[in-house]
Structures are given as structure tokens and as C-alpha cells.
Amino acid sequence: MRRRLLDAAAEEFAERGFSAARLTEVARRAGFTKGAVYSNFESKQDLFAELFAQRSLEMAGRILAEIAGMNLTDAAGQGAESIASWVVDDPGWSLFVLEFGVMAGRDPSVAQAYLRERRHLRSQLTDLLYERARDWGVADSLDVRTTVISLMALMSGLVLEHSVDPEEVDREVIGAAVTALFAGAFARSGLPT
């Protein structure tokens, strides 16, 4: 039931955005009543926060699986390409995440759920990148936490810029920006770029 609700919520949020999304519609799409939503989630904010964390970790897991076994430079390029594809191919979801972040900055009830999940995501991504950095033999020199924070911030900015100007901020530009972030992180750590 929970999985069906999350899948239905993903559709509803991507189509309507956070503010316009309705839990009755999420329930209808999943084939349940609104009561089923509230028996699984405290609020629309909590439903989104869990969905956000789940989808973000799934994407990170896919990217890390794609770069497994690659050297550092190739992994940075492939990871950047995968992130760029995600931003360009799923603009509704990307904009929705930004909308939720802006709301969190203005509404304390939204901020709690958003902050909880962003910190959880940041922690999970840090662990995942640290594991990969350990595989590359650079875990002691790469500032993984700062790299993850920078990547999350960069992605937010790139999503916004792409949504406003997709011709200029296209897949190639997004990939180059993410690659530059990783190159900078490697250079600061004294690693070859």
C-alpha cells in the first residue's frame, strides 16, 4: 500500500506541484481512500519528504552502480552525465523539489519535514560517496561531506536555470558544471584531475 501511495504521489506532485497537489487525488490514483494516505503519512509534507528521500537515494544508487569499477576521472564524467540526464529528462520532478525547498524556507511546518529528509539524504549520499572514494583509494584526502553539500546546491541551481532557459542550460552544460565541481573537489584534495 505504501509503495502505491508513494508512486501515486510522485505523479500528482510532478503534474501539479506541491501546493496544488491534493491527497484525495493521491489516494484516488493509488486506488485507496484519503484515510489510507493519513494512516501511512502524517501530512502532505511528510509524504513528499519521504518520496523525495526515496527517489533521490534511488537516483544516487543508480549513478553509483554505473560508475562502479571506473577510475576517478571516468566516474566523475559518467556521474555528471547521469545527473544531467536526470535534470533534463524529468523536469517536473526537479521543479517540484525546488518548490518544496522554497516553501520550506517560508513555512516552519514544511521546513521540519524538508530539513529532516535533506539531512538524511545528505548523510546517505556522504556515506555512498565515501564508500566509492574508499574504493578509489582517496577517502582520506577527498572532503566527501563538502562535495556532497556542493553537489546538492549545484543541482538545485542547475534545475532552476534549466527550467527557465533549457536552450542555454542544456544537458551538456549541466554535465560540464557537475564535472567541474568534482574536478575542483579532487584538485583541492591534491588528487589528479
Q: What would the mean pLDDT of 9-18 be, rounded to a whole number?
A: 86
| Pick from 4-13, 56-65, 77-86, 116-125: least confident | 56-65
pLDDT for res 118 = 85
Whether pLDDT at 193 is above 70: no
And the C-alpha cell for 173?
Answer: 552544460
CATH number belonging to domain 1-41: 1.10.10.60
Q: What would the mean pLDDT of 24-32 be, rounded to a whole number?
A: 95
Distance CA 65, CA 111 (A): 31
This prediction's pTM: 0.79
Q: Is 129 exposed, middle or buried (0-12, 13-18, 19+ CB in 10 A)?
A: buried
* Domain 44-188 CATH (choose: 2.50.20.20, 2.40.160.20, 1.10.357.10, 1.10.1740.10): 1.10.357.10
Rounded mean pLDDT of the chain? 87
Domain boundaries, given as residue ranges, for the chain: 1-41, 44-188
Distance CA 74, CA 138 (A): 15
pLDDT tens digit string along 116-138? 888 988 898 899 889 888 888 88
pLDDT tens digit string along 70-117? 887 888 888 899 989 988 988 777 777 788 888 889 988 888 878 888
Whether pLDDT at 155 is above 70: yes
Whether pLDDT at 191 is above 70: no
Distance CA 40, CA 189 (A): 44
Backbone angles phi, psi at 192, to 5 degrees: -65, 140
